[in-house]
Amino acid sequence: MGKTHFDFKKFTIYHDKCAMKVGTDGVLLGAWTEPLPGTSRILDIGTGSGLIAIMLAQKSDAEIIGIDLDDPAISQAEGNGRNTPWAHRLHFIQADASAFDPQSTFQLIVCNPPFFTESLQCPDSRRNDARHSAALPFDVLVSRAANWLEADGLLNVVLPAGQADGFVQKAWEHGLQLSDRCWVRTKPDTPPKRVLLSFRKGHAEYPSSKWLAIRKEDGCYTDEYKALTKDYYLNF
């Protein structure tokens, strides 16, 4: 049996009832995302165990809503949230992003979206929904985010590096301008495996582009990755 939970510095995430488990992608997005000053409302689409929502609660004073299709995941996210110092600001709702109807807008939306578009689907339908973009097509994600964001609000996502250009194009078509980008490599001399993208609703300056390697050639974590995640990982 796999590990049922992960201990972070200020909270614990149980994920044994979730289709998708705690992983590097979610930690990267939560650690990399910096809410703008004055951010009071954040939406986490496809929240799963609630990891990213809880990470953002640790670094902000915002009210945070996490939505997910999967009822067992929402139940587990609620439990994870209750056991944090920020429980009063964390709210988890079982909802389909394509039909979700929030009562007010957000200054920040985050999403670790399903992104396997052509790979063979597994028999577990819950895991398929969590992994395959048919459950949340990119054009649906960006159109909903554009509607739900305030002017100058941010949409932050983590994606496979090879899907970055297509996502950037779809975001641009819906009025979301790329403002920040970080290519993520497993080791310094390897091609990027993931990319962290930040979009602004409305005008954005020419996007900055940075690189991050997770491990050194000897397999140890890089100083850059430690610095990014030190507020969360126990060993950093």
Give the chain's mean pLDDT.
Answer: 90
pLDDT digits (tens, 9 = 90+) for 115-128: 544 443 444 444 44
What is the rounded distance in angstroms from the CA atom of residue 7 to the CA atom of residue 127?
Answer: 23
Give the HSE-up count for residue 136: Cα atoms under 13 Å, Cβ half-sphere. Answer: 28
- Exposure string for 129-161, b = 16+ CB within 10 A, e = fewer: bbbbbebbebebbbbbbbebbbeebbbbbbbee
Query: What is the distance, to the nearest Å, from the Cα of residue 12 to the centroid of all Cα atoms in its chain?
Result: 17
User: Which pair of structure tokens corresponds to residue 205?
Assistant: 């300056």
The structural domains of the chain, with segments of one domain joined by +, span 23-229
- 19-40 pLDDT, tens per residue? 888 999 999 999 999 999 999 9
Homologous superfamily of 23-229:
Vaccinia Virus protein VP39 (3.40.50.150)
Assess whether pLDDT exceeds 80 at residue 132: no
Angle at 232 between CA 227 and CA 236, to 5 degrees: 50
- The upper half-sphere exposure of residue 88, i.e. CA atoms within 13 Å in the direction of its Cβ, equals 2
Q: Strand order in 41-45's β-sheet? A: 90-94, 63-68, 41-45, 106-111, 149-160, 192-201, 176-185, 208-213
